[in-house]
Amino acid sequence: MKKLIGNVLLTVGLVGGAITAARIPPMWGGLAASLAVMGAGIFLRRQGAREELHRAAESGTGGVKELERLLTDALARIEGLMEAPGEKVVAELTKILEELDEFAEKAQPLRIEGLMAYGKVMSVFSRGERALNRAWSAFADGYEKEGRRYLRYGYEDLKETLMAVKALKA
């Protein structure tokens, strides 16, 4: 609710500021009041976003536990693909990548831990996701050797991501 009220105040302050500043001469008192309303809107919006992150982490719709589950499942499935035929790899890797699409959204509550922790997890994860996408592309194009190499890179990066996520719990 705070986020909604913050958005409304921000919009009202922006419109009011534009109207008062467009006058010749500018209405300085109105402009100052509009800036104060915008400031209050920004404050409420940020506070509401922070509360949403805390609620998501507590409810299990994101945060360390959910990420750990998602990564563990993906790693187990990728392990099974290491020696599988190329056609099976493409089909299964497609499903894995679709599930990993949720990772960035579910990782948002990690920002509570700080931007450095969030950045470390997301930078390693994004490297692994790119490698898995390259593996999928190579397998789909018939370059099995290259696909297996990128599959291994993606697997190692996801393992590193899992270690980084587990380190946040400690």
Q: What is the domain partition of the chain in residue ranges?
A: 1-59, 64-168
Longest dimension (CA), the chain: 74
- Tokens 């499935």 belong to 77
Residue 104 has pLDDT above 60, yes or no: yes
| pLDDT of amino acid 69 | 87
Percent of the chain with pLDDT over 70: 91
| pLDDT of amino acid 143 | 92
Say which CATH topology domain 64-168 has: Four Helix Bundle (Hemerythrin (Met), subunit A) (1.20.120)
Residue 108 has pLDDT above 80, yes or no: no
| Average pLDDT over every residue of 35-61 | 77
Between 70 and 55, where is the model more confident? 70
Residue 144 has pLDDT above 80, yes or no: yes
63/71 Cα distance (integer angstroms): 12
109/111 Cα distance (integer angstroms): 5
Exposure letters 16-34 (e unless 16+ CB within 10 A, then b): bbeebeeeeeebeeebeeb
The contacts of residue 50 (CB under 8 Å, 6+ apart) are 112
| pLDDT of amino acid 32 | 92
| pLDDT of amino acid 112 | 66
CB atoms within 10 A of CB 44: 20
15/20 Cα distance (integer angstroms): 9
